[in-house]
Amino acid sequence: MKTFTKLLAGAVTILALAMIGCQNDTDTHEHTYSTEWSKDATSHWHAATCEHTSEVSDKAAHTFGEGVVTKEATETETGIKTYTCTVCKYEKTESIAVLPHTHKYSAD
């Protein structure tokens, strides 16, 4: 009986410690997020403003439109086309190839 009591007491102690270790304040904590977009080259999201700074909300890939030529290509220089995310305003650019050389002849 003494051995059983010791085993039972040990099991209760282990169970109590396990339950204490499993407590998590996320059950009662509500995260707060920035209204400003955070962004990188592939995604945008709202970052947590509470102590759980690794939490994010609304993470999604950028959504780019058709893009705008911000520098025309010439026969000697590449051009630039700029794409802007419609959600977070992140911008990416692409080079536009140099135009092929064309000969212009005069009637002289």
The model's pLDDT over 20-54, given as tens digits with 9 standing for 90+, comes to 444 454 467 889 999 999 999 999 999 999 988 88
* Choice between 27 and 104, residue whose per-residue pLDDT is larger: 104
Residue 108 domain-assigned?
Answer: no
Q: Please name every residue paired with 21 in a beta bridge, in sequence order, or none if there are none.
A: none
Residue 19 domain-assigned?
Answer: no
Domain that holds residue 47: 31-61
Query: Which has the closest alpha carbon to 42: 95, 88, 81, 80?
Result: 88
- Span 80-90, mean pLDDT? 97
Q: What is the pTM of this model?
A: 0.62
- Span 42-71, mean pLDDT? 93
- Residue 28 DSSP label: T
- Span 99-105, mean pLDDT? 85
Regarding whether 67 and 57 lie in a shared domain, the answer is: no
* Structure tokens belonging to residue 107: 């009637």
DSSP element (H, E) containing 68: strand 68-71
* Alpha carbon 74 to chain centroid, angstroms: 36
Query: Which has the closest alpha carbon to 34: 47, 17, 18?
Result: 47
Regarding whether 67 and 95 lie in a shared domain, the answer is: yes
Residue 74's CB is within 10 A of a number of other CB atoms, namely: 11
* Choice between 27 and 89, residue whose per-residue pLDDT is larger: 89
